Structure 1
C-alpha cells in the first residue's frame, strides 16, 4: 500500500520540533527565573523586616529608660536590615497606656517598620519611581513586664 501524500508532507518537517521546543522553552524560562529571583528577594526582605520589628519591640520593652530603648531599637533595626542593604523608610514606635514612656509597667510596646524593596535586575538608569519597588511593613508588639525594677 503506497503512502499517502499527507504522510510525505509531514515527514518533510523533521527537526523543527526541537527548535520550537527550545524557543518556547526559553521564552517561558526567562520570566520564570525572574519571578523566582523577585520572590526570593521579597521573602528575604519580609523576614528581615519582621525580625527588625520584633527585636526593636523587645529592646524598648526591656530597656531601663525610654531614651535608651529607642536608641537600642534603632540599632536593632539597622543591624537586622543591614544584611540586605536596606534602609527603613518609616519606623513607628507606639507605647501604651502611657504614650510618652515605653517603660511603664504592664504597658505594651508596638513597633511598625516599613521598608521599600527594589525589584531585582532593574537598572537605576531609568530614573522611574513608579512600580520598581515594593513596600513591606511589619508590626510587632511586646508587653512590658510588671515585675521590672
Structure 2
C-alpha cells in the first residue's frame, strides 16, 4: 500500500457542487458528487447509459482510496478486482448540466466476492436516478485465477468500512 497521506479536499467542478465533498455517510454510504458534462450525453442531452457505470466505478475506486486502498497499489501487489456481475435499474435520466450524488457501499463479502450497492440521486435527495449492484472478485493478476482469499489489508479495510 502507498504511504501517501494526501488528504486534500477535492476541487469542486463548478459552483453547483461547491458544498459537496467525497465522504462516508450514515449507513456506511460513500458519497461521490458528479456533474453531467456534454461528453456524458447523447445528442439529446441525456446521459448515455454506460456513463452511469463509469461513475459507479469512480465512486467505488474513490471510496476504496478513502479507506487506504489505492487501486493502483492493489494492482501492483498482483491483485485485481474485476466486475463479474452488474445489475442496474434506471429510474430517471440525468441531463446535461445537472448535478447528482453517486452513493456506494459494500453490502456483503463472500470469500473473495465483494458486493457493492449503488444509488445515484439528486443533490437535494428528492430524485433517485439509478439503483444498482456490482459484484467484484479478487483475481491473481499473474496467474489469471481467482484468489483463495482477499489480501488481508483489503479484507480488514472493507470490514472496517462496513462497521
Does TM-score exceed 0.5, indicating one fold?
Answer: no
The structure carrying a bigger strand percent of its residues is 2
TM-score, normalisation: structure 1: 0.32
Structure with the greater alpha carbon radius of gyration: 1
The structure carrying a bigger helix percent of its residues is 1
